[in-house]
Amino acid sequence: MGIREITPAEVCERLARGAVFLDVREEHERVSGQAEGARGVARASLEADPSFYAPDRHAEVVLICQQGGRSLQAAQALQAAGYTNLASVAGGTSRWIAERLPVVRPQMDAGQLDFHERYSRHLLLPEIGPEGQRRLERSRVLMIGAGGLGSPSAYYLAAAGIGHLRIADDDVVERSNLQRQILHTEARIGMPKVDSAQAALSALNPRTQVEAVAERVTSGNIDRLLEGVDVVLDGADNFPVRYLLNDACIRHARPLVYGAVQRFEGQVSVFDAGRQRGVAPCYRCLFPEPPPPEFAPNCAEAGVLGVLPGVIGLLQASEVIKLLLEIGEPLTGRLLHFDALAMRFRETRLRPDPGCSVCAAGKPFPGYIDYQQFCGVR
């Protein structure tokens, strides 16, 4: 016997006859409202122990979900388990609401409601779900730079629900920044960038704690900046800081999400040699020595397409989230190059250098150096 599909209007008469009415959506889906009279139970929980929710296998059981598909599948599973009187609501809760039938909201405090509403699209993803979202909320990320790369990265990491963003930058907002550094506004010209970032990100997501550190990153404060963080995002615009970040992340065994832009091109990678010595490469494996300053002009000297840092910064934010959730394949051992003019991505495989001065397997940490002198910066 097939599963009966009924309209929302038909549910009421079945409830009057004593039918069991179950909403098989996930808890976060029911926050926006569920059919009056329905008991919420996730489909997986129902199928794992149907007798707990519907003890009588011959009593009428009506199932509802969002659109009607999952409730029909759940009914088929119950039928296979020996239930004989099953119905699924065609069109689900969406149709129920469209037909203006009574809806109730589960009881929860303001914080729970905010969590479920704010992250509802993440909660629908099996790879994230409530557990993964809570994990993001417990995470701490260090961001170096609140400029071109830091702006889009910070926006999306805060929106995604990272619990703590520590942002270090000693610069102030200038009008020339606004072409690409979208954290900042005309009204905040002259303000420290970290304070401007804190204002923008707190307005976007008050659940994210933004720690503003108005300091230049040096070997004297890098260990303190790395304290307690899970992932480091490199939004720096100079080689001394990049080499320092690399060395510090190896010392503290923290993954480093690297990004760089110039003119119309950018690149992204993940350097995780601190946790995977001899297996994953570090920044020095890619660039054992910095290029001469005359061959590596910064954005102020060479220019940069305004949208380019947005592309690269969002790729960096994606890698941070993947690392925190331990999902997907991070860019460890791969350098992703983007050419905006050609609209083309190119990937280069990277291998660890067995002779690397910092990350070679079994090699003790050599200590920090004079990175300005190493990079030939006066």
Q: d(Cα 197, Cα 182) in Å, to the nearest integer?
A: 9
Q: d(Cα 30, Cα 106) in Å, to the nearest integer?
A: 7
Q: d(Cα 35, Cα 182) in Å, to the nearest integer?
A: 42
Q: d(Cα 179, Cα 306) in Å, to the nearest integer?
A: 6
HEC per residue, 344-371: EEEEEECCCCCCCCCCCCCCCCCCCCCH
Phi, psi of 89 (to 5 degrees): -80, 115
Q: Which residues sit opposite 31 in a β-bridge?
A: none
Cβ(210)–Cβ(197) below 8 Å: yes
Radius of gyration, CA atoms only, the chain: 27
Cβ(35)–Cβ(21) below 8 Å: yes
356 is annotated as an active-site residue = no
DSSP designation for 63: E
Q: Which residue has the tokens 């933004």?
A: 210
Q: d(Cα 147, Cα 136) in Å, to the nearest integer?
A: 23
Q: d(Cα 89, Cα 62) in Å, to the nearest integer?
A: 7
Strand, coil or helix: 176: helix
Cβ(194)–Cβ(207) below 8 Å: no
Catalytic residue among 299, 356, 359, 375: 299
Phi, psi of 71 (to 5 degrees): -65, -35
CA angle 63, 68, 70 (to 5 degrees): 75
Closest alpha carbon to 128 in 320, 324, 332: 324
Closest alpha carbon to 168 in 222, 214, 223: 214
Q: Which residues are known catalytic residues?
A: 299
